[in-house]
Amino acid sequence: MLLSLFYILIFPGFIFLSAYGLIVEYLDRKLYARFQNRIGPPWFQPLADFIKLIGKEAIVPAKADKGMFRILPAFALASVSAVILYIPLWSTSALFPFKSDLIVVLYLLTIPTITFFIAGWVSTSLFSTLGAVRTITQLFAYEVPLFMALLGPALLAGSWSISEIAAFYYKNPLLSLYNIPGFIVAMIAIQGKLERVPFDIPEAETEIVAGSFTEYSGRHLALFRMAIDIEMIVLVSLIAAVFFPVYISGNITLGLVTYLLKTVILVFILALIRSLMARLRIEQMVKFCWLYLAPAAILQILIDLLVKGVS
Amino acid sequence: MGRIEIPIGPQHPALKEPESFTLYLEGERIAASNVTLGYNHRGIEKACEGRTYIEDLYLIERVCGICSHSHSTCFISAVEEVAKLEIPKRAKYIRTIIGELERIHSHLLWLGVAAHEIGFDTLFMYSWRDREVVMDILEMLTGNRVNYGINKIGGVRRDISEEQKEQVLKAVETLEERTKYYIEIVNSETTLIGRLKNVGKLSYEDAMRFQASGPVARASGVDRDVRRDDPYLAYGEIPFNVITDNHCDVLGRTIVRAKELIESYKIIRFALKDIPQGDLAVKAPRRIPAGEAFTRYEAPRGEDVHFVKANGTDKPERVKLRAPTLANLASITHMLDGGYLADVPIVIAAIDPCFSCTDRSISIKHLDSGNENIMDWDSLRKYSIDWHKNKGFDAKNIQVKLK
């Protein structure tokens, strides 16, 4: 009981996630800045931003649904934080694995996006509404490729549990080479999930100010920002667990170092994609996802089925 | 979603200056649009009439923060034409060089802004970093990064030394290399082309119909450049190409500006090599004889037009200036219609708008009735007094006590 509480609240639960979320945000911003020939923020900048936002006045629009408006950030934060319990971090087993937890994780990861949509909708301002509509349109575009990209490896491993998938590829590391198309699809799709360039359409600042979050301020915005940071870690951890079967078993410290290394490499790739492109239009994004990303994900499933049939 | 009205401006992250665009959206598509001017009226023409020509020169330089040299040169050319002053050749060359450096600075700035509007912040940061090079050069030559103040009636204030020449040439070398890289990016980066191609279409006929000018017109295939068609300063002696493009969209405008940068480097190289020796300025009278002049100048954003009427005193009778943005603004609603909301910032940015340079009037809009009317000075004053009286505030009762 006490150990479970420790897991949930301190490590790898809330405290660790928040701290690592801020570090990852710093890394992302710093790398992005260096790619752009800028100096970038100091290491404590995300923390300072968070504290500043917490301390500021939280304005709730007069016409907004006040209860929903206040509770949504907490919803987003809780759902993304819960995911970490089912993802293997330093060993091939997650903290509370169960059969078919991959499905639960994917659905838990949809909740923050839905909260962004509802948050934009209940704000009732024009820019928020437009941002909300774009968020949900974008969700339909990247969600299917992302699911299918993760489905392929699961099919080959013959399990719906992330821990079992990780264990399978740990035993047969060469088999994960078949999953490279899926890895690429997943990396592009989570760029959409995290609303980053080239898929930062829902919060395109030069068009619709801050999209869904236009009316948010103070601690509500701080919680949303934290949820997005944690969402990034969770997604990166999920991809690392499914596509990168590198673990050092037995030693928790070394295992943790491997985990951190894997996630940092993925964050580096994400920052690189972000700095190389321009923002697409929503209709270009949807077209790209259905025309290229979804077929690539289907190809991944086909490959995995073939490999499974042969072996 | 049904038809919704969305305000872009007067305050909006996409706009660097206050201006109001009202869009009527059907989903993400724009069904109709409307532009409202008049948030930046500074009364600059009237202010010029109350000041001497020398003061006006510095005032006119502050019409625009970016193309300050264009306005100042255009104005001073008109004054010199009225006064029948022939400025020394060396001064002409120096004005030309500063003008071209300013064009480089303006186009690089535009490239950054355009990249930012489509979410390509890396290009934004890169081009603004390179813009620092040309701004440092301008500071070295004139003493200021913007508002150079190099002109004076009858010539220029500062000379360009051999040492400075070397430095300018070195900077131009760096910039040319960078610009070639940007041209390559514009021609090859998929997302960039995806965002710029077929956006903000303006056909040749429409460009002629709406009287677009500068890079906007040239990107629609209108072969028009004041530097070549009506040469002023040293342009008649310097060989250069007028860049046109047939894309007729934002991509075309980007390509035209990028290629114009290359032409500017050529012009600067030629001008620095062939700059004649001689005086910097001729003596100018304080009182300008009566007469009037009308001058054109190819500013980075398009054709800048100034009219000066002198009445024999040291102050002008009338100054009229038309900034290039006004010429291009007419085509904006046409370019926006039928496009996507996501393209609004880049379409507006593609004319390289400078709204505070453009505004020459205020229109009063009644918020409740939506009626608009333009007021002259007296009726505006009366309106203001009545409005305050209605609020229970009478200006007549105020007495200013001087100690």
For testing contact with chain B, the best of A279, A287, A291 (most B CBs within 10 A): A279
The answer to whether the CB atoms of A130 and B117 lie below 8 A apart is: no
What per-residue confidence (pLDDT) applies to B370? 64
Distance from CA of B33 to the nearest CA of A (A): 15
| Contact status, residue B187 vs residue B108, Cβ threshold 8 Å | no
**What gap in Å lies between CA B216 and CA A264, rounded to an integer?**
45
Q: How many CB atoms lie within 10 A of CB B145?
A: 14
Which residue ranges make up each domain of chain A?
Answer: 2-310
CB contacts of B193 in chain A (<8 Å) are none
| CA–CA separation, B72 and A222 (whole Å) | 49
pTM for this prediction: 0.85
**Beta-ladder partners of B30:** B25
From chain A, pick out residues whose CB is under 8 angstroms from the CB of B122.
35-36, 275-276
DSSP label at residue B400: P
**Residues of A whose CB is below 8 A from B129:** 37
In the prediction, which pLDDT does B368 show? 67
- Do residue A204 and residue B343 have CB atoms under 8 angstroms apart? no
pLDDT of residue A8: 73
Query: To the nearest whole angstrom, how far is the Cα of B350 from the nearest Cα of chain A?
Result: 14
Window A:105-134, CB contacts with B under 8 Å: 126, 130, 133
Considering only the beta carbons, identify the residue of B115, B191, B342 that sits closest to A207: B342
Residue A209 and residue A223: Cα distance in Å, rounded?
A: 19
Is B290 in the A-facing interface, judged by CB distances under 8 Å? no
Q: Do the Cβ atoms of A206 and B192 come within 8 Å?
A: no
Q: Considering only CB atoms, which chain A residues are within 8 Å of B115?
A: 278
Q: Are B186 and B236 in contact (CB under 8 A)?
A: no
Pick from B191, B254, B344 the residue to mutate for testing the A interface (most A CBs within 10 Å). B191
CB of B120 within 8 Å of any CB in chain A?
yes
| A242 touches B: beta carbon within 8 Å | no
Complex ipTM more than 0.90, yes or no: no
Q: How far apart are alpha carbons B147 and B133 in whole angstroms?
A: 17
Q: Do B194 and A278 touch (CB under 8 A)?
A: yes
Q: Coil, strand, or helix at residue B6?
A: strand
Q: Please judge whether B191 and A206 are an interchain contact, meaning their C-beta atoms are less than 8 angstroms apart.
A: no
**3-class DSSP state of A172:** coil
Phi, psi (deg, nearest 5) at residue A279: -70, 135
CB spacing of A207 vs B344 below 8 angstroms: yes
- Tell me the average confidence (pLDDT) per consecutive run of 10 residues in chain B, 403 residues long: 77 80 83 83 86 89 87 90 88 90 91 89 90 91 87 88 90 91 88 86 88 89 88 87 88 90 91 87 86 90 89 88 86 86 86 82 68 75 86 75 69
Q: Which residues numbered 301-340 in B keep a CB inside 8 Å of some CB on A?
A: 340
Q: Which residues, including other chains, have CB under 8 Å from residue A291's CB and lie 6 or more apart?
A: none
Question: Which residue of chain B comes nearest to A205, CA vs CA?
Answer: B13
Distance between CA atoms of B57 and B51, rounded to whole angstroms?
A: 10
Asked whether B222 and B252 are in contact (CB, 8 A), the reply is no
Q: Which residues of A touch B116 (CB under 8 A)?
A: 206
Cα A57-A72-A1 angle, rounded to 5 deg:
110
Q: Which residues of chain A have pLDDT under 70?
A: 249
d(CA B83, CA B293): 10
Strands B363-365 and B372-374: antiparallel
B57 in Cβ contact with B69 (< 8 Å):
no
Task: Find all residues with CB under 8 Å of B99, minimum gap 6, and list them.
Answer: B69, B70, B73, B233
Q: Does B4 touch chain A (CB under 8 A)?
A: yes
Closest listed residue to residue B131, CA positions, set B111, B151, B154, B160:
B111
Is A280 close to B189, i.e. CB distance below 8 A? no
Smallest Cβ–Cβ distance between B125 and the set A37, A197, A200 belongs to A37
Q: Are B137 and B60 in contact (CB under 8 A)?
A: no
Residue tagged 């333009």 (tokens): B374
**Angle in degrees, 0-180, between the axes of helices A101-123 and A126-157, rounded to the nearest 10:** 170
Nearest CA in chain A to B1: A133
In A, which residues are within 8 Å of B28 by CB distance?
A: 282-283
Give the pLDDT of residue B354. 83
Q: How many CB pairs under 8 A join A and B?
A: 78
d(CA B70, CA B63): 10
Interface of B with A in 194-213 (CB under 8 A): 194-195
pLDDT at A51: 92
Superfamily the domain B44-335 falls into = Cytochrome-c3 Hydrogenase, chain B (1.10.645.10)
Q: Please indicate whether, in this complex, the C-beta atoms of A278 and B192 are within 8 angstroms of each other.
A: yes
Q: State residue B393's pLDDT score.
A: 78
**What's the token pair of residue B56?**
């006006």
Q: Residues 127..166 of A with a Cβ closer than 8 Å to B: which?
A: 130, 133
The reported pLDDT for the residue numbered B179 is: 92
Q: How far is CA A309 from CA A156, A161, A165, A303, A306, in A?
A: 9, 21, 18, 10, 5
What distance in Å separates the CA atoms of residue A61 and residue B358, rounded to the nearest whole number? 36
Judging contacts by C-beta atoms under 8 Å, the chain B residues touching residue A38 are 125
* Through-space distance between the first and last CA atoms of chain A, rounded to whole angstroms: 43
Tell me the H-state helices in A36-179.
45-55, 66-83, 101-123, 126-157, 162-171
Please name the member of B28, B119, B345 whose beta carbon is closest to the beta carbon of A197. B119
- What are the domain boundaries of chain B? 44-335
CA B280/CA B95 separation, integer angstroms: 11
| A198 cis-preceded (ω within 30 degrees of 0) | yes
DSSP assignment letter at A176: G
- Asked if B119 lies within 8 A of A126 by C-beta distance, the reply is no
Report the 10 Å Cβ neighbour count for A202. Answer: 27
